[in-house]
Amino acid sequence: MTTAPLLLQISDPHFGTEVPTAVRALERLAREHSPDVVVFSGDITQRATRQQFDAARAFADRLGARDVVAIPGNHDIPLFQLGARLLSPYGRYRRAFGDDLEPVFESDAWLVIGVNTTRWYRHEDGEVSTEQIERVAERLSRARPEQVRLVVTHQPVLVTRTEDEKNRLHGREDAVARWSAAGADLILGGHIHLPFVRPLQGAFTPCPRAMWAVQAGTAVSTRLRSGQPNSVNILRRASSMGMSRRSCTVERWDCAMGDDRFVRADVKELLLDDAALSPSLLMHSSSIPSFRGTDR
């Protein structure tokens, strides 16, 4: 058993469309791994009803994590109840997950900065304002050298398919440039239900240092896309290959429809402090298609 600090990323559970076996399997995974912090990267509910938020909050409590960092997604604002959408778009969200829509979590290993990219006047698209970009950059500038620095948005800053380009975060170019210069390592996102890890350096100019987009799939809902199963990400803070420079591993854990367990399917080790190496040298990847143990 390892003592490496551990973070569990859960995105797009869409309570109201949840698969009970996947919910139980994710609770089991959390119990087995005891994450320091659970990060919900939006779309916690399907239609932002009180019942769906109550179910999501009860689920979050059952995970047993010491800390929970949650941000809203576009589905967490009422869609059909126009009065609630206009007058209190986050009222039900706040009742379940607290008043802070942009929480910050800090430990010796992690600095996690939430960004609310939803807007009541947008249906699906997300955006980040100049004020939000600067707030995040200022907080990043005060990170401790040993911390892995994560920014959490709902909509992605990077996509891998042409059909997802319309889902990219508005304001992403300025955000990536500013956050990279301020020292961000990872941008965690969801929204498109497609898990992947990709370098932002090279995809964005300027992006002066190694920085990564870490996308999660839909954790427990029936809203599967592109043949992907339900999935979550586990991030571990570690020193890489016995060296002192910072690194982080990103593990994708999948739960196939009808299965009762999440299975570790892929592991990527990301080197975080190098700016001169190519992305292929900064990321080491391995697939583990049949892992079912609880070693960590």
What CATH number is associated with residue 136?
3.60.21.10
Domain span at 257: 6-291
41 lies in some domain: yes
129 to 159, 174, 288: CA distances (angstroms) = 20, 9, 39
Task: Give residue 87's pLDDT.
Answer: 73
* Predicted pLDDT of residue 166: 96
The structure tokens listed for 295 are 């070693």
pLDDT at 40: 98
pLDDT at position 48, please? 95
Within 10 Å of residue 161's Cβ, how many Cβ atoms? Answer: 11
Q: At a CB cut-off of 8 Å and minimum separation 6, what does 121 contact? A: none
What's the number of domains the chain is made of? 1
Residue 30 inside a domain? The answer is: yes
Tell me if 126 is assigned to some domain: yes
The answer to whether residue 296 sits within a structural domain is no
In a domain, 135, yes or no: yes
Please report whether residue 138 resides in a domain: yes
Is 206 inside any structural domain?
A: yes
What's the number of CA atoms in the CB half-sphere (13 Å) around residue 9? 35
- pLDDT average per 10 residues of sequence, the chain (296 residues): 79 98 98 96 97 98 95 92 74 97 97 96 93 98 96 98 96 97 97 97 88 97 94 85 74 94 96 62 55 36
pTM value > 0.95: no
For residue 44, being part of any structural domain is answered with yes
Could you please report the per-residue DSSP string of 44-61? -BSS--HHHHHHHHHHHH
